[in-house]
Amino acid sequence: MSVDPEKRRLLERQGYRIVGSHSAVKLCHWLREKLIRKRPCYKEVFYGIDCHRCLQMTPTADQCNMNCLFCWRAQNFSKPKFDDLDDPAFILEESLNAQCELVSGFKGDSRCSIEEWTEASEPRHVAISLTGEPTFYPKLGQLIRECHEKGMSTILVSNGTLPSVLARLDPLPTQLYITVAAPTPDIYNKLCSPISEDSWERLLESLAVMKGLNTRRVVRLTLVDGWNMTHVDAYSELISRAEPDFVEAKGYVFVGGSRNRMKWSNMPSHDGVREFSRTLSSHLGYPILDERKESRVVLLGSGDKDRRMVSPVRL
């Protein structure tokens, strides 16, 4: 199996369900909040998805080429590799089964409506973003196609270090994110701890590739106080390479494994994220469209695309 046995035990203790040789599923915090407290995640507010119907998964549970200091996930990644390679249809089917098992306990909670529990057992959105770098999975396009053929929209989150994969990805996800976690190469290398020496150059290439992709495109900024909330002009230049539809300025949260590497003071306030976003907006020319205080996130947009992300449901 591709998932290291020790890491597998750690992930399972953290609530992950390992799927096959190298994939995993975990319930999002906001799925629980929606079912129990009727509080949606910011993606529901920003883009209109039903967050309680979102499957959070990855085909690369133990494959990544970054060891970002701010990452809350299990780390110690070395050279990405697969001992075995699972079929995309198998991964999706088993991920959906795992999701059903994970949400089954909510049925007995009086705070959860039967209608929403039933919907949660039938996901309409797949977030390929849980842990690892999904573009290392050689059959990523086929996995996305499997999702679309079942009428589910897809959100792919990438660190942008495999531009050739993004350039030839077919089909494209419903919404593509590229994470930009630093404004300069020096900050990038210190904060993101890339395994490859040319990761920064690859990120720049991916942003240029993103510009020509015919899908919803989002640049996500992971903001860490004391580390990367500077050089707004450099951020603006990086974002301009991609000309995305939206920019999410998202504050780092002091949770998970990042607590071993970061400090509480590295978590920016929402006011700090908002002020950064205002400055970025003036540099970039993207107006602020929305914000979500509890998630410390501000949305900027080019104004060229409707915010609502429609699931490719086939009737």
Q: In what order do the strands lie in the sheet with 288-292?
A: 17-19, 23-25, 54-58, 125-128, 153-158, 175-180, 216-223, 246-251, 297-301, 288-292
Q: What is the DSSP letter of 66?
A: B
What mean pLDDT comes out for the span 197-226? 97
As a whole number of angstroms, the distance between CA 144 and CA 134 comes to 11
* Average pLDDT value for residue range 290-307: 91
The alpha carbons of the chain give a radius of gyration, in whole angstroms, of 18
Angstrom CA distances, 36 to 21, 105, 145, 173, stand at 32, 12, 32, 29
Distance CA 182, CA 190 (A): 9
Phi, psi of 132 (to 5 degrees): 75, -175
User: How far is 132 from 128, CA to CA, in rounded Å?
Assistant: 10
Q: Report which of residues 46 and 258 the model is more confident about.
A: 46
The model scores a pTM over 0.75: yes
Which of these, 69, 71, 64, 76, lies nearest to 24 by C-alpha position?
64
- Go through the domains of the chain in sequence order and give each one's CATH number: 5-301 (3.20.20.70)
Alpha helices, DSSP H only, in 24-139? 29-37, 42-47, 88-103, 114-120
Q: Are 270 and 250 in contact (CB under 8 A)?
A: no
The three-class DSSP label of residue 19 is strand
- Indicate the pLDDT class of residue 314, thresholds 50, 70 and 90: very low
Give residue for tokens 């001992």. Answer: 83
* Amino acid at residue number 269: S
Asked if residue 213 has pLDDT above 50, the reply is yes
Percent of the chain with pLDDT over 90: 82
pLDDT of residue 310: 62
Quote the mean pLDDT of the chain. 93
In the chain, how long is the greatest CA-to-CA distance? 52
Write out pLDDT tens, residues 36-65. 999 999 999 999 999 999 999 999 998 899
Q: What is the pLDDT of residue 304?
A: 74
Helices (H) and strands (E) in the chain, counts: 11, 10
